[in-house]
Structure 1
Amino acid sequence: MGKELLNDESLDLFDMRRLALLLEVVEQGSITAAAELMMYTPSAVSQQLRKLEQEVGQPLLNRRSRGVVPTEAGQVLAGHARKIVRQMQAARSDLGQMAGLKRGSLTVGTFPTVAGSFLPIVIRTFKKRYPAIGLSVRSARFDELVADLQSGVTGLCLLWDYPWNPFRDDSIRVTEVFRESTVILVARGHRLADREEVSMEDLRKESWIVRAEAHPVVEVLQRSAHDAGFEPEIAFLANDYQEAQAMVSVGMGVAMVPKTAVALQHPDVTVLSLGSAAPLRRVLLAQREDKVYAPAEVAFHSTLLEIAGERAGDYL
């Protein structure tokens, strides 16, 4: 019997593309609608279905003025086609997973504010989808992130830039993930704490808490203050944003920070908007331009941009 099946010419009857077209036509009830979804012309679909009917030896569709309906044979064959199409989709998925998404490792570079806010949401989703991928995260300063990416220590990394100093490197491809606003932190009892929005002019007499070691936010503050016509008076140099918030909470001064820095907000600190005047920074996903991206990198890239699209408004 096995030899008879192998020699059975009926095994050559069914072309996968024609079965898929039949299934789409039956489900849509229209050759035109199915052609549009499958990116064919209606005449090409009709021609392929006529060939399928010739191969089957009986009509599969009844043509009517408003669409088509399957014959009994058409309903039977469409039911089998549905199972076959699903099996082929599963086969493609399995092969894709074998190509890299069911094994391997990935190292991602990041910086602290994003690591403490947006990135954990991405990681949770990624690990749920691809539990077998070994994922590690390396948080570092900007120049270290770029060096790690170029040397292959990381497969991709998150960077940032501002309009007055956009990131450019011919060896690195960047994709904008989202834009985030700069906000003002004041103590809960501060004279401006009951306002939702302030201007830099409102803050000209304030003392400022900034990050130490020539942190980029210092330049953001200086540019904003100079545009408003004053030189900011620095009261405290903080080692991180949690320390900055603590000093703000006890009235040591006010602070200017990117919005992701207050994902964990101190209970005695109020966050104020600078409105349309707020400096914006871009958060970027960076990958080497000259490499072939591993399946795990492609999957992480896709997951990250998906989550960013869902939460983009959270950081403005």
Structure 2
Amino acid sequence: MLDVKRLRVLLAIVEEGSVTGAAAALGYTPSAISQQLLRLEREAGQPLLDRQARGMQPTEAGLVLARHARKIVRQLAAAEADLADIADVRRGSVTLGTFPTVGSSFLPLAVRRYRELYPAIELSIESGREDRLVQMLEEGRVAMSLLWDYEWQRVDNDELVLTELFTDPTVLLVGATHRLARRRTVKMADLADEQWIIRAGGHPVVEVLRRSALAAGFTPKIAFHANDYQEAQAMVSVGLGIALAPRTATVNQHPDVRVVSLGDTAPPRRVLAAHRAGRVRGAAELALHDVLVDTAARYG
């Protein structure tokens, strides 16, 4: 088998016209060049260069082998450059899944940082409900996705690898003129007589309210079913009732709504980064994962 390093030596001799020139080009001693050439000729089984008074001339075999060597050296250089691109994340693409409340709060911070660090990476984002996000992960349509769960309903999928990014507290939304509007913290037990605005369609925050109210010893009285958190805030702002929401859902806060902490009397949710187990992860994806983790450490 022909040695690639010796092929480089042959090519340098042919291009430089002498052992001395090749040694200077490659940073070797002339003696080392001569030794490598002799070994290559033994591997080739025939002379590759004619030694002449004014230098060396390639034999027919030497010319053929030098042409192949030139192609091999260029291909190796291209391969090394591609590997460097991957290692340095100088180009590539990655697709991330997300859900609306995090997509409008935490994620823009991470995206800004990622684009600052890796401006040549093509980043695409898909937003959807959690069941759709999991499906896209399983089908390989997204490399990673942000997911969430609560303590009573953890993400349980052997095909996914999960990284917890941060805890998203459940907070209380009240109108600006509500009796609790100036409070920094309240307990669920203080809210037994309130009217409640909840999300429609069996939204997870409804279960948060049910469990929290049960633990506090009351059954919530429902005044309105909202289709999204903006509609819920609008009804809270006019005093129709109060509401629970993840803190990430309050970034776009209504001017007439106040956000009050519930401490540990309402359960938080985990925000997670997920990827498919066994997936070969490219450098762009790994870099995005690192940015998500780093941004999460400073979020809140």
User: Could you say which TM-score interval applies, normalised by the shorter chain?
Assistant: 0.7 to 0.9
Supply the distance in 2 between the matched residues of 1:305 and 1:203 (Cα, whole angstroms): 36
Task: Tell me the residue number matched to 2:29.
Answer: 8
What CA deviation, in whole Å up to 9, does each residue of 1:244-263 have, x standing for no partner? 11110010100000001111
Within 5 Å, give how 1:34-73 maps onto structure 2.
none
- Which residue in the other structure is 1:33 paired with? none
1:198/1:273 contact within 8 Å kept:
yes
- Residues 189-228 of structure 1 correspond to what in structure 2 (within 5 A)? 189-228=177-216
Distance in 1, Cα, partners of 2:86 & 2:267: 45
Matched, 1:109 2:97: yes
**Residues 235, 253 of structure 1: 8 Å contact kept:** yes
Distance in structure 1 (CA, Å) of the matches to 2:31 and 2:174? 78
Please, which runs of 5 or more residues in structure 1 have no aligned partner?
13-91
Match of 2:224 in 1: 236
Distance 1:307 1:287 in 2: 18
Q: TM-score, normalised by structure 1?
A: 0.69
Deviation, structure 1 residue 3: 3.6
Corresponding residue of 2:241: 253
8 Å contact from structure 1 (residues 110, 138) kept in 2: yes
Residues 100 and 294, structure 1, Cα contact 8 Å, conserved in 2: no
* Other structure's SS at 2:182 match: coil
Compared CA separation, residues 181 and 95, structure 1 to 2 (3 A): same
How far is 1:95 from its partner?
4.0
Contact 1:197 1:273 in 2 (8 A): yes
2:167 aligned with 1:179, yes or no?
Answer: yes
- Aligned match of 1:128: 116
CA distance in 2, matches of 1:4, 1:107: 48
Identity percentage of aligned residues: 52
Which SS does the other structure have where 1:275 is aligned?
coil
Letter in 1 for 2:21: G
- Alignment CA distance shift 1:231-1:292 (3 Å): same
CA distance in 2 between partners of 1:134 and 1:93 (Å): 19
SS at match of 1:225: helix
CA distance in 2, matches of 1:254, 1:10: 87
Partner of 2:260: 272
The alignment covers a number of residue pairs equal to 233
Alignment CA distance shift 1:123-1:8 (3 Å): same
Q: 1:193 to 1:106 in 2, by over 3 A?
A: same
**Aligned equivalents of 1:134 and 1:253: distance in 2?**
44
* Structure 2 CA distance for aligned equivalents of residues 181 and 149 of structure 1: 26
Partner of residue 300 from structure 1, selected from 288, 297, 300: 288
**In the alignment, is the contact (CA less than 8 A) between 1:175 and 1:286 conserved in 2?**
yes
SS of residue in 2 equivalent to 1:276: coil
Residues 11 and 134 of structure 1: is their aligned pair in 2 closer, same or farther, counting only changes over 3 Å? farther
Post-superposition offset of 1:99:
5.5
**SS of alignment partner, residue 134 of structure 2:** helix
Q: Distance in 2 between matches of 1:97 and 1:11?
A: 33
Paired residue type of 1:274: L
Relative to 1, partners in 2 of residues 1:2 and 1:183: Cα closer, same or farther, differing over 3 Å? same
Distance in 1, matches of 2:31 and 2:274, equals: 53
Asked if the contact 1:183/1:274 (under 8 Å) is kept, the reply is: yes
Is the Cα–Cα contact under 8 Å of residues 184 and 257 in structure 1 kept in the other structure?
Answer: yes
Distance 2:192 2:31 in 1: 85
Contact 1:107 1:156 in 2 (8 A): yes
Is 230-239 or 1-10 further displaced after alignment? 1-10
User: 1:188 maps to which residue?
Assistant: 176
Q: Whole-Å Cα distance in 2 between the matches of residues 107 and 283 of structure 1?
A: 18
CA 1:301–1:11 in structure 2 vs 1: closer, same or farther (change >3 Å)? farther
User: Equivalents in 2 of 1:249, 1:283: separation in Å?
Assistant: 28
By how many angstroms is 1:94 displaced? 8.2
Cα distance in structure 2, aligned partners of 1:94 and 1:303: 23
String of CA shifts for 1:92-150, please: whole Å, max 9, x gaps.
99844246833332211111110010000001111122222221111111111100110
**Secondary structure in 2 matching 1:143:** helix
Q: Which amino acid aligns with 1:116?
A: S
Tell me, yes or no, if the aligned pair for 1:178 and 1:283 is still in contact at 8 Å.
yes
> Aligned equivalents of 1:276 and 1:136: distance in 2?
36
Q: How far 1:175 sits from its partner (Å)?
A: 0.4
Code of the residue aligned with 2:292 in structure 1: it is L
Output the CA distance in 2 between the equivalents of 1:295 and 1:264.
34
Checking the alignment, whether the CA contact within 8 Å between 2:192 and 2:220 is kept in structure 1 is: yes
